[in-house]
């Protein structure tokens, strides 16, 4: 018997679009680019030869169009793994739930999703301007812990090694981090010699969770020093951002392929930053469009 999704669980707007994104099923392409900033959607879509649809609701802006014969949807997620939870569930619903019957479709679609963002570098070999591809993500957000199957898709030995290295216990920096792999197929296609591959920490905030201290002291003042020194089976932590873990984790649970690639705009190790990065981020966008 097919599962029925009640209106309280899957909210569909009167025009047939999904609740938050305001996107209709027929507007969704199999290839999806995710960006945090709604303003960056237009930058991605400026490379399209044509546009099928353009819709905006809250921080979620969506454009579907064609680039070099490839149908692509670009969506802004806003900031944080909580927003990724909304975007991923609604994109999956658009792809795999019949909005007329409210039942799962007999044939499921697998989406390819690439997040393009900015990040903070944590190693000397990730200076400002570096493109970093997240082979693995360490989620400080706890989101995946609310979904069944979490342990089957996570790297449990690396999780234990990271917790032991950090020396966190009890309520310190809770919830416990999870470790998740991006799609190896997408990584191999998109992360070529012009990108650094590494491990990304997806933090639950911009300040304390990333070791920034303003007026309120940190629970673990040595957090970033320990993070920079962590090594596991040849993997080093390369950067901080705020979405990659939820994207990779939910994609694995849903049967999609996903990865994150970010441009370093601040190196925390050598304390340098650059906010004038529009031209460089456009280079990254064009690179991803060519390879997706």
Q: Residue 246 maps to which CATH number?
A: 3.40.50.1580
Residue where a domain stops, chosen among 74, 109, 144: 109
Mean pLDDT of 70-98: 99
- 104 and 169 belong to one structural domain: no
Mean pLDDT of 206-215: 95
Mean pLDDT of 4-23: 98
Mean pLDDT of 252-276: 90
Instruction: State yes or no: pLDDT of 276 exceeds 80.
Output: no
- 156 and 189 belong to one structural domain: yes
pLDDT digits (tens, 9 = 90+) for 28-70: 999 999 999 999 999 999 999 999 999 999 999 999 999 999 9
pTM: 0.95
Give the model's pLDDT for residue 49: 98
Q: Which residue has the higher pLDDT, 273 or 256?
A: 256
Give the model's pLDDT for residue 95: 99
pLDDT digits (tens, 9 = 90+) for 132-143: 999 999 999 999
Domain that holds residue 242: 118-292
Give the model's pLDDT for residue 214: 97
- 77 and 158 belong to one structural domain: no
Mean pLDDT of 192-197: 96
Instruction: State yes or no: pLDDT of 9 exceeds 70.
Output: yes
Give the model's pLDDT for residue 101: 98
Interatomic CA distance for residues 36 and 60, integer angstroms: 9
Mean pLDDT of 207-218: 95
- 279 and 161 belong to one structural domain: yes
Instruction: State yes or no: pLDDT of 199 exceeds 70.
Output: yes
Residue where a domain stops, chosen among 41, 74, 109: 109
- 229 and 169 belong to one structural domain: yes
Residue where a domain stops, chosen among 89, 109, 129: 109
Give the model's pLDDT for residue 174: 64
- 132 and 273 belong to one structural domain: yes
């Amino acid at each position: 018997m097919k599962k029925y999704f009640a209106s309280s669980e899957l909210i569909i707007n009167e025009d047939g679009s999904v609740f938050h994104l305001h996107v209709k099923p027929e507007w969704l392409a199999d290839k999806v680019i995710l960006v945090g900033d709604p303003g960056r959607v237009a930058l991605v879509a400026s490379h399209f030869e044509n546009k099928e649809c353009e819709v905006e609701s809250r921080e979620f802006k969506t454009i579907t169009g064609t680039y070099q014969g490839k149908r692509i949807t670009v969506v802004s997620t806003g900031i944080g793994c909580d927003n990724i939870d909304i975007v991923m569930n609604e994109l999956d619903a658009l792809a795999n739930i019949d909005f007329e019957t409210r039942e799962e479709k007999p044939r499921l679609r697998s989406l390819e999703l690439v997040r393009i963002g900015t990040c903070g570098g944590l190693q000397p070999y990730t200076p400002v301007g570096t493109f970093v591809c997240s082979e693995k993500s360490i989620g400080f957000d706890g989101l995946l812990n609310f979904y069944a199957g979490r342990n089957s898709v996570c790297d449990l030995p690396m999780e234990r090694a990271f917790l032991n290295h950090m020396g966190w216990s009890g309520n310190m920096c809770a919830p416990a981090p999870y470790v998740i792999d991006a799609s190896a197929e997408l990584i191999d296609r998109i992360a070529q010699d012009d990108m650094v591959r590494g491990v990304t920490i997806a933090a639950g905030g911009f300040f304390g969770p990333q070791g920034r201290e303003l007026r309120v002291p940190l629970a673990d003042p040595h957090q970033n020093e320990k993070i920079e020194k962590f090594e596991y089976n040849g993997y080093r932590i390369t950067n901080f951002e705020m979405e990659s873990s939820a994207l990779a984790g939910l994609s694995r649970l849903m049967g999609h392929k996903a990865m994150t690639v970010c441009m370093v705009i601040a190196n925390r190790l050598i304390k340098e930053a650059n906010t004038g990065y529009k031209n460089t981020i456009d280079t990254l966008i064009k690179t991803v469009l060519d390879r997706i």
